[in-house]
C-alpha cells in the first residue's frame, strides 16, 4: 500500500490551493480544485495519469481553471450532487463514498456549512478540507445557522479523526486535526451571548 503524495499549488489572485494527489507506485492521481493558472496545473500533472477532477465546493475561485483542465485532459469532474446547480459535472459523490486512484483509497465526507455542496476527501492521515477548515478556524459562513451547520460537520466528520491527521485547506498551509480540535475546544469553552458567524477564528472569537 502506497502513501498518498500531496502537491499543493497556490494559484491565482486568491492563492487558492489546487492539489495534485497521486499514488507514487502507479503514478495515477487526481486534481483537486483547479483554482486558476491552468498551465501551472497541467505542468505539475505531467507524468501522472490523472483520473478525474475533484471539486471541494463551487466557489468560483476554486474553479477558474476547470474548463481548460477538463478540455486538455478530457477527464470526469466529480463533486457533491448539489454542485450540479453551479457546474457541469460527470459524477455525483455521496457522503461516505469511496474513491481510489492507483493504490490510494479515499472516502468522501459531506461537510456542509461554508457552502451546501462542501465535501472533504479523507485518505489515511490526509484530509483535503476545501474551505471547511483552515489553520485557526472554520471556513467562512453566511449566517448563524450556517455556522452551526459547519460546527456540526466538523464535530461529526472531522474532529473525531486521529490527532495526527494532516488538514490541507483550500487556502494557506496545513494544520492537524489535533491542533484544530484543541483550538475549537477553547472556543467552545467561552461563554457567548450573541451568535457568531462569518470569518471566525477559534482563539479570538
What residue ranges bind Zn ion (CB under 5 A)? 59, 131, 170
- Closer by beta carbon to Zn ion, 12 or else 178: 12
- Closer by beta carbon to Zn ion, 28 or else 131: 131
E strand or H helix at 189: helix 177-189
In whole angstroms, the minimum distance from the beta carbon of 186 to Zn ion comes to 25
- Closer by beta carbon to Zn ion, 113 or else 170: 170
In whole angstroms, the minimum distance from the beta carbon of 25 to Zn ion comes to 32
Q: Which residues pair with 176 in a beta bridge?
A: 166
In whole angstroms, the minimum distance from the beta carbon of 56 to Zn ion comes to 8
Rounded Cα distance between 78 and 200, Å, is 29
In whole angstroms, the minimum distance from the beta carbon of 115 to Zn ion comes to 6
Using alpha carbons, list the distances in angstroms from residue 8 to 17, 18, 165, 194: 6, 6, 17, 37
Give phi and psi for 37, each to the nearest 5: 50, 65
- Closer by beta carbon to Zn ion, 38 or else 139: 139
In whole angstroms, the minimum distance from the beta carbon of 15 to Zn ion comes to 10
All three cell numbers of 199: 470569518
In whole angstroms, the minimum distance from the beta carbon of 110 to Zn ion comes to 15
For every residue of 91-109, DSSP letters joined together read: EE--TT-EEEETTEEEEEE
Comparing C-alpha atoms, which of 157, 147, 159 is closest to residue 114?
147
3-state secondary structure at position 123: strand
Cα torsion angle, 22, 23, 27, 30, sign = negative
- Closer by beta carbon to Zn ion, 34 or else 102: 34
- Closer by beta carbon to Zn ion, 29 or else 170: 170
Q: Say if CB 44 and CB 9 are below 8 A apart.
A: yes
Amino acid at each position: 500500500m502506497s502513501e498518498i503524495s500531496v502537491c499543493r499549488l497556490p494559484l491565482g489572485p486568491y492563492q487558492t490551493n489546487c492539489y495534485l494527489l497521486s499514488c507514487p507506485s502507479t503514478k495515477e492521481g487526481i486534481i483537486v480544485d483547479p483554482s486558476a493558472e491552468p498551465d501551472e496545473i497541467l505542468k505539475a500533472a505531467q507524468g501522472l495519469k490523472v483520473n478525474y477532477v475533484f471539486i471541494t465546493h463551487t466557489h468560483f475561485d476554486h474553479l477558474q481553471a476547470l474548463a481548460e483542465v477538463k478540455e486538455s485532459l478530457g477527464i470526469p469532474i466529480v463533486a457533491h450532487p448539489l454542485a450540479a446547480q453551479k457546474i457541469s459535472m460527470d459524477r455525483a459523490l455521496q457522503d461516505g463514498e469511496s474513491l481510489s486512484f492507483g493504490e490510494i483509497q479515499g472516502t468522501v465526507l459531506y461537510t456542509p456549512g461554508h457552502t451546501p455542496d462542501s465535501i472533504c476527501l479523507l485518505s489515511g492521515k490526509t484530509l483535503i478540507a476545501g474551505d471547511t477548515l483552515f489553520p485557526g478556524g472554520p471556513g467562512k459562513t453566511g449566517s448563524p445557522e450556517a455556522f452551526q451547520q459547519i460546527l456540526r460537520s466538523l464535530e461529526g466528520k472531522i474532529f473525531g479523526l486521529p490527532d495526527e491527521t494532516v488538514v490541507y485547506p483550500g487556502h494557506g498551509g496545513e494544520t492537524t486535526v489535533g491542533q484544530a480540535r484543541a483550538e475549537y475546544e477553547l472556543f467552545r469553552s467561552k461563554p457567548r451571548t450573541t451568535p457568531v458567524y462569518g470569518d471566525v477564528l477559534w482563539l479570538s472569537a
